[in-house]
Structure 1
Amino acid sequence: MTEDYFLDTIRVSFQEYSLALGNWKIGTRHVRPQDIVSTALCTVEGARDDITGAGQTHAAQALCSGIAPDMRQMLTVKDCDHYDLFTGPKWRDVIHPALSAFWRSIR
C-alpha cells in the first residue's frame, strides 16, 4: 500500500466521511454502495478489536442497503481482538465455520 493510497483512504473515510455521506467520487463517478444488489455481504468484527473500532465494519451493511436481507450476515465475535479475526482458534473454531456456512447458504 502506497503512502498516497493510505492517506487518501484516511481522508475519504475518516476525515471527510465521503463514502458515508454519498459524496465520494472516483474520477467523475459517484461511489454508490446502495446500488449494489447482486452480491452477498458478510461483515465480521472482533468485540475486542482495538484497531478497527466497533461498528466500522458492520457499517457496510447500512451503506449497502440494496442487498437483500437473506444475502447478508453480521458476525461479532466475543473475546476476539483484531488479529484473532485472521488466525488462531477464533478464526478456526468460530469465524471460518460461520463464513463457510454463510457462503453455502447463499448458493
Structure 2
Amino acid sequence: AERLAGMRPGTVLVNTARPDLIDEQAVAQALADGILAGYAADTLDGDTAASASPLLAPELAARVIVTPHLGAQTTQAVDNMGRMSLDDAIAVLRGDAPAHPVTR
C-alpha cells in the first residue's frame, strides 16, 4: 500500500510475474482512490477464490484486466517451452546438467 501511494496518479500497474507479488486489497484500494488508473495481470492470487478477489469488484471492472493465466500461451512460447524441455531431457540423458533445472 505504501509503494502504491507513492506512485504518480494515473499509473497503470501491470503484473506479468507472479500474483503473490501484489497485495490485491491494496491495489483495489489504490484503484478506488484514483492513485492507479488501471491494473492488469496474468492471474489472481491463488490463495483467494477468484470470485472473492477485491479486484473483481463491479466498480473496478472497467479498469482491471485479468487473464486466466494464459498470457504465455502463444504458439511461439509453447514451442519454446517444449524445445527447452526436450533439450534439458537430452542433456540429462547425456549426463550433463540441464540448462533450466527445476528448483522447487
TM-score, normalised to structure 1's length?
A: 0.24
**Relative contact order: is structure 1 or structure 2 higher (C-alpha 8 Å, sep ≥ 6)?**
1
Larger radius of gyration: 2
TM-score, normalised to structure 2's length?
A: 0.25
